[in-house]
Structure 1
């Protein structure tokens, strides 16, 4: 049975320490930042009113809430610390964070390079809406990202990487990408949602902007839609101006959920990774399972690249079975009482979703794929339930 290997390269260090040592700034007498439910601050005179309306670079309160609130300030401070960046920004969803960053940098006539197995809504946005603006995209495999000289043209201005990517977990050698892009003045963006800041800090390898769908692991309880952006000093103010101008701000309640989730992130991620290791080992040996897809496993195409950057995995993986009848598939899913049929992932409850393998995935003909997000339920119970339910597909 293939073992889950440890990284040969130093990563984020002790996960627990990374979170419990987060600075608390001026909130030393209180465990949490306050939630102020307001639209506009109250000003003492017209001069202050005018200054507040022009406050696009986060000076003092009072301000209009679209410019930020005490709780969004607090959560942005914590994300900056965890991602080791210059500054962070919050948006109303992970997708809003992504589209805001793309629109901040791209202009008509520009061309971008992007991960081929990127989150499907991002692909749809790029192909539908950015293309209307005259912005083109080339979708690359993880291997093609190591051959960028073949794909970069004079109008290539941005590289967008999601790694490990959605469902099939392609892992890009981001250090190679960053070094290439720096020499040519190309902006580099990375969706780091899979990793969280505890497993990987892309800015340390030369990336310019890091994005999270904080609805996933960061908030951790499937109760908030929110996105975050962490950036270098060069791009912080321009991105903040765009977020304010476009109204893509995060709400106070969502920001507070994210703030609380960060406090247990290391504990959850450690527990989920341990259970995932047990599940992938069980599935690898299960007679109904044809393939387990995880970059943590040596059989994955990008396993060696994964080992370059990671000390451990997380709680997400996929597996494939011989394509069943729809009725068999439905019976299998109904047997999974503790695996919710849900698109979300990274929360405390385990989830499962079927998906169609991309055309380029080798040896996928005749197979049906499922993605699992492991929660914090007891490992033995999940293994027994999943193993038993899979007998319906034999």
Structure 2
């Protein structure tokens, strides 16, 4: 089934809702027993913290897009990430994780889980031998994010999945960057996929949400334990907004990539930029691996400026259409000078690195914005 068909029609039956082409928002906490409810094809509903008709349409769509058996939505990306990790971890477990993963996920493993005796070994992620060498007898989870935050490092999903199975460890990956439009980790043998739905799946910067996808048995277990007990369930209204975003997901992702490729070419020729970090750009050190397991890249990239930090921040302040902000994945272009004050490179950041989300405004407008900002600061 094509992504476009899934996004527009899959798991929907207008006859259930008086012919409405857009399913209603079931803004109800409780579903009482009544005639017809028990025979509903989605199963009998009782309480929205457990299941909701609006949310289930979205879950079915995302599961189909990822080629997974089932999915469950959460009230935030971290709600989904934490639930997926906790599903596999127990007291005194060991985790191997990519160092440049999303910051709160890094803190969850490195700091919060210490109270339960969980230990973590952080690796760069680009060397499968390093990953296998970090595995211990009590390693229960290998946590991935490909491409990873800020540095956009790519991990070899097939090889890592094979390694994990040999050592009886589970694999979870954050696939927010690519979305299922550009990468399907489950088809490479990864056990579970997580997303921050606040990003591209929502696409309009107006929801906070997350989703977990995998085998039905495991997703059902998460629904009955981590999600139900932690209570981090997506609201029906956010589910409806996410459904609206999914309708245009394939179109939006293609345009984000088109704009990002134009901007990568522009930055490549900009004298004050010494490195463009974008996995779909031919100078990326893992370009061939990206081409092998991805079918495209999103609008998120980094550039490394060959300028003092204060000049980088002045250029950022001069920009009109790149707004300074921490998130990404919506219609708007964003910029974050996260490496401007760094004195030297480290395992998760480079000196002078600026992360950009290339939105839907149009590459010509964004290039003009940068030209003006650089000229105003540097002359």
Once the 2 structures are TM-superposed, how far is the Cα of residue 304 of structure 1 from its aligned partner? 2.0
Partners of 1:84 and 1:201 within 8 A in 2: yes
Structure 2 equivalent of residue 23 of structure 1: 10
Whole-Å separation in 2 of the counterparts to 1:288 and 1:36: 52
Whether 2:23 is the aligned partner of 1:33: answer yes
Partners of 1:94 and 1:215 within 8 A in 2: yes
Once the 2 structures are TM-superposed, how far is the Cα of residue 320 of structure 1 from its aligned partner? 1.3
1:299-314 counterparts in 2 under 5 A? 299-314=283-298
Decide which of 333, 339, 347 is 1:350's aligned counterpart.
Answer: 333
Whether 2:347 is the aligned partner of 1:360: answer yes
Structure 1 equivalent of residue 122 of structure 2: 139
Q: Which shows bigger deviation, 302-311 or 376-385?
A: 302-311
Partners of 2:329 and 2:357 within 8 A in 1: yes
Structure 2 equivalent of residue 262 of structure 1: 246
Structure 1 equivalent of residue 184 of structure 2: 201
Once the 2 structures are TM-superposed, how far is the Cα of residue 361 of structure 1 from its aligned partner? 6.8
Whole-Å separation in 1 of the counterparts to 2:132 and 2:274: 37
Structure 2 equivalent of residue 101 of structure 1: 84
Once the 2 structures are TM-superposed, how far is the Cα of residue 217 of structure 1 from its aligned partner? 0.6
Distance 1:309 1:360, change over 3 A: same
Partners of 1:278 and 1:379 within 8 A in 2: yes
Q: Structure 2: give runs of 5+ residues left out of the alignment.
A: none
Whole-Å separation in 2 of the counterparts to 1:248 and 1:225: 11
Partners of 2:209 and 2:238 within 8 A in 1: yes
Once the 2 structures are TM-superposed, how far is the Cα of residue 331 of structure 1 from its aligned partner? 2.9
Once the 2 structures are TM-superposed, how far is the Cα of residue 148 of structure 1 from its aligned partner? 3.4
Structure 1 equivalent of residue 353 of structure 2: 369
Structure 1 equivalent of residue 364 of structure 2: 380
Once the 2 structures are TM-superposed, how far is the Cα of residue 233 of structure 1 from its aligned partner? 2.8
Whole-Å separation in 2 of the counterparts to 1:214 and 1:165: 17
Structure 1 equivalent of residue 105 of structure 2: 122
Structure 2 equivalent of residue 170 of structure 1: 153
Whole-Å separation in 2 of the counterparts to 1:233 and 1:361: 34
Decide which of 77, 82, 103 is 2:65's aligned counterpart.
Answer: 82
Whether 2:197 is the aligned partner of 1:214: answer yes
Return the TM-score normalized by structure 2.
0.91
Whole-Å separation in 1 of the counterparts to 2:6 and 2:70: 17
Give the match's secondary structure for 1:67.
Answer: coil
Return the TM-score normalized by structure 1.
0.87
Partners of 1:286 and 1:387 within 8 A in 2: no
Deviations 1:34-88 (A, max 9, x none): 112222223469xx9xx9xxxxxx7312x11101211101100111110111100
Partners of 1:324 and 1:393 within 8 A in 2: no
Distance 1:98 1:382, change over 3 A: same
Once the 2 structures are TM-superposed, how far is the Cα of residue 360 of structure 1 from its aligned partner? 3.4
Q: Which shows bigger deviation, 246-255 or 143-152?
A: 143-152
Which protein has greater RCO, CA pairs closer than 8 Å, 6+ apart? 1
Partners of 1:283 and 1:387 within 8 A in 2: no
Q: Which shows bigger deviation, 292-301 or 140-149?
A: 140-149
Distance 1:16 1:157, change over 3 A: same
Once the 2 structures are TM-superposed, how far is the Cα of residue 112 of structure 1 from its aligned partner? 0.6
Partners of 2:100 and 2:347 within 8 A in 1: no
Distance 1:146 1:253, change over 3 A: farther
Partners of 1:221 and 1:348 within 8 A in 2: yes
Partners of 1:117 and 1:168 within 8 A in 2: yes
Whole-Å separation in 2 of the counterparts to 1:121 and 1:355: 16
Aligned length: 366
